[in-house]
Chain A
Amino acid sequence: MAVVAPTSESVPSAPAEILPTTSKHAGGGGFRSHFGSLLFLLPGAVWLLLIVVYPLIATVIRSFFDASGQNFVGIANYKSIFSTTDIIVALKNNVVWVVLFPFLVTFFGLVFAVLTERIRWSTAFKTIVFMPLVFSATAAGLTWASIFFIDPHTGMVNAAIQTAANAINPPGLYPIDPTSGQTVSSLAATGTQPGPGGTLESKTSVSAGSTVQLGLIGISPTTLQQSGAVPAVVPTASSGITGLVWRDFSPTHPLVRGQVFPDEDGIPGLHLSLLNGSGASVATTTTAKNGTFSFANPGSGNYRVQIGANNFQAGFNGIFFLGTQSLTPTSSLSPTLQAILSLPIVDIAMIIAYLWIWAGFAMVVIGAGLAALNREVLEAAQIDGASEWQTLRRVTVPMLSPVLVVVFVTMLINVLKIFDIILNMAAPSSQAGAATLAVEIYNDFLSPTGQGLAAALAVVLFILVIPAMLFNLKRIRG
Chain B
Amino acid sequence: MSVQAASLPVVAAPARKRRLRLRPSRLVLNVVLAAVAIFWLVPSIGIAIISLRPNGTFGQSGWWTVFTAPSQLTFSNYQQLFSAGFKAGSVLDSLTTSIAITVPVTILVTVISSLTAYSLVFGRWRGRTLVFLLIVAMLVLPLQMALIPIASLYKVVDNATGLHLFGSVIGTVIFHVAFGLPFGIFLMRNFYSGIPHDLLEAGRIDGAGEWTLFRKVVMPIGIPALASLAIFQFIWVWNDLLVALIFLGSSTHITLTMFLYGQTRALSNNYWIISTGAIISIVIPLIVFFAFQRYFVRGVLAGAVK
Interface residues of A (CB under 8 A from B): 1-7, 10-15, 18, 20-23, 25-29, 31, 33-34, 36-41, 43-45, 47-48, 50-52, 54-56, 58-59, 62, 69, 112, 115-116, 118-119, 124-125, 127-140, 142-147, 149, 151, 153-156, 159, 356, 361, 364-365, 368, 406, 410-411, 413-414, 416-417, 419-420, 423-424, 427-428, 438, 441-442, 445-446, 451, 454-455, 457-459, 461-462, 465, 468-469, 472-473, 476-477
Contact = CB atoms under 8 A, between A and B. Distances in A.
A1 to B, nearest CB: 5
B273 to A, nearest CB: 10
Contacts of B115: 40-41, 43-44
Contact of B47 (A5, A33, A39, A146): A146
Contact of A14 (B44, B182, B191): B191
Contact of B36 (A112, A132, A155, A417): A112
A71 to B, nearest CB: 16
B306 A14 contact: no
Given A12-B190, A115-B29, A134-B282, 6 more contacts: A1-B179, A11-B190, A12-B225, A14-B222, A134-B296, A154-B59
A118 B138 CA distance: 39
B103 interface: no
B209 A36 contact: yes
Contacts of A368: 301
Contact of A410 (B59, B265, B303): B303
B67 interface: no
B46 A147 contact: yes
Nearest to A358: B305
B80 interface: no
Contacts of A48: 135, 138, 178, 181-182
Contact of A18 (B47, B122, B195, B206): B195
A457 B144 CA distance: 9
Nearest to B234: A134
A364 B50 CA distance: 30
B242 A28 contact: no
A154 B148 contact: no
Contacts of B100: none
B259 to A, nearest CB: 9
B191 A3 contact: no
A458 B145 contact: yes
Contact of B192 (A10, A14, A361, A417): A14
Contact of A28 (B174, B186, B209, B278): B209
A441 B148 CA distance: 10
Contacts of B75: none
Interface in B219-244: 220-222, 224-225, 228, 235-236, 238-242
B124 A37 contact: yes
A37 B211 contact: no
A13 B289 contact: no
Contact of B149 (A31, A55, A124, A136): A55
Given A134-B285, A445-B148, A472-B140, A44 B181 contact: yes
Given A12-B224, A139-B278, A139-B281, A36 B305 contact: no
Interface string B280-306: 011001101100010011101111111
Contacts of B46: 143, 146-147, 156
B150 interface: yes
Contact of A47 (B131, B149, B177): B177
B122 A12 contact: no
Interface string B112-142: 1101101110111100000111011111111
B241 A361 contact: no
A420 B257 contact: yes
Contact of B43 (A4, A356, A461): A356
B26 interface: yes
A130 B238 CA distance: 18
Nearest to A124: B37
A51 B150 contact: yes
A1 B202 contact: no
A216 B133 CA distance: 77
B211 A1 contact: no
B80 to A, nearest CB: 18
B208 A5 contact: no
A336 B305 CA distance: 35
A465 B146 CA distance: 15
B169 interface: no
A443 to B, nearest CB: 11
A217 B140 CA distance: 63
A167 B142 CA distance: 50
B236 A34 contact: no
B5 interface: no
A129 B221 CA distance: 32
A48 B132 CA distance: 12
Nearest to B180: A1
Contacts of B305: 1-4, 361, 410-411, 413-414
Contact of B58 (A132, A154, A446): A154
Contact of B274 (A14, A69, A142): A142
A133 B300 contact: yes
Contact of B210 (A4, A28, A125): A28
B92 interface: no
B207 interface: yes
A44 B116 contact: yes
A356 B271 CA distance: 21
- Ranked nearest first, the 3 interchain pairs of A and B with the lowest CB-CB distance are A28-B209, A36-B210, A51-B178
Contacts of B118: 37, 40
A370 to B, nearest CB: 12
Nearest to B133: A473
Contacts of A465: 140-142
Interface in B28-63: 29-30, 32-33, 36-37, 40-44, 46-47, 50, 58-63
B186 A128 contact: no
A25 B209 CA distance: 9
11 contacts: A33-B123, A40-B210, A52-B179, A52-B181, A136-B240, A139-B47, A146-B274, A153-B62, A364-B301, A406-B303, A416-B142
Nearest to A459: B145
Interface in B170-208: 174-175, 177-183, 185-187, 190-192, 194-196, 199, 202-204, 206-208
B219 to A, nearest CB: 10
Contact of B264 (A142, A155, A441): A142
Contact of B174 (A12, A22, A51): A51
B123 A26 contact: no
Nearest to A13: B194
Given A138-B261, A356-B43, A3 B145 contact: no
Contacts of A13: 191, 194
Nearest to B183: A3
